[in-house]
């Protein structure tokens, strides 16, 4: 960055980050004040520790987290994965047993429902057939007297053609 961006003077001793990070600016302000008041011995120790913290943060941000921390997180993730696998392996047989029982129960229920539906359909068909038979019998019974009377009428008409004369009281 160009000179003069610093609040204190245009001849700033510090390097400003290009991102314009506010935490970096605060550290620089603190470091500037500490350097300004560096006559006291405690302040020098603070300045050194602050500079070391900044250096450590820069190295961590450029190289990522420390190797130890990465190794710990990898080990932790590996253990969690193994635990999850073991739990899943234990759950699989239980799930299979539960699923098998549920499937058998569902199959039995479906078979029972199908059987009941077939029985109901057969019973309905029997009722329908019985009803049709009853109606056919009634029709036949109604037709019998008509057939008989129409036969008698035909006989009465046919008797004179064949040469038989009717007399009163002959039953026709």
pLDDT tens digit sequence for 12-45: 666 655 555 455 556 666 666 655 555 555 555 5
Residues in contact with 44: Cβ distance below 8 Å, sequence separation at least 6, in sequence order: 38
What is the predicted pLDDT for the residue at 108?
93
Domains of the chain, residue spans: 1-64
CA–CA distance, 56 with 143 (Å, rounded to integer): 116
Cα separation of the two ends of the chain? 140
Q: What does the mean pLDDT of the chain come to?
A: 73
DSSP label at 18?
T
CA 169 to chain centre: 94
Tokens representing 11 are 């001849």
103-153 pLDDT, tens digit each: 888 999 999 999 999 999 999 999 999 999 999 989 888 876 665 566 777
For 163: left if phi > 0, alpha if psi spans -120 to 50, otherwise beta; the answer is: left
Largest Cα separation within the chain, whole Å, is: 166
Distances 46 to 23, 71, 115 between C-alpha atoms, Å? 17, 32, 89
Distances 26 to 7, 17, 38, 167 between C-alpha atoms, Å? 11, 12, 18, 145
């Amino acid at each position: 960055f160009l000179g003069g961006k610093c609040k204190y003077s245009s001849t700033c001793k510090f390097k400003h980050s290009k991102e314009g990070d506010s935490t970096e600016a605060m550290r620089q302000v603190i470091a500037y004040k500490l350097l300004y008041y560096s006559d006291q011995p405690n302040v020098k120790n603070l300045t050194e520790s602050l500079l070391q913290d900044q250096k450590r943060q820069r190295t961590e941000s450029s190289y990522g987290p420390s190797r130890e921390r990465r190794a710990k997180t990898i080990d932790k993730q590996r253990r969690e994965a193994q635990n999850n696998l073991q739990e899943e392996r234990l759950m699989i047989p239980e799930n299979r047993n539960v699923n098998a029982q549920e499937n058998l129960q569902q199959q039995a229920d479906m078979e029972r429902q199908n059987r009941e539906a077939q029985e109901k359909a057969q019973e309905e068909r029997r009722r329908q057939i019985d009803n049709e038979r009853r109606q056919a019998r009634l029709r036949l019974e109604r037709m019998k007297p008509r057939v008989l009377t129409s036969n008698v009428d035909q006989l009465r008409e046919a008797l004179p053609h064949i040469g038989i004369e009717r007399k009163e009281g002959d039953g026709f």
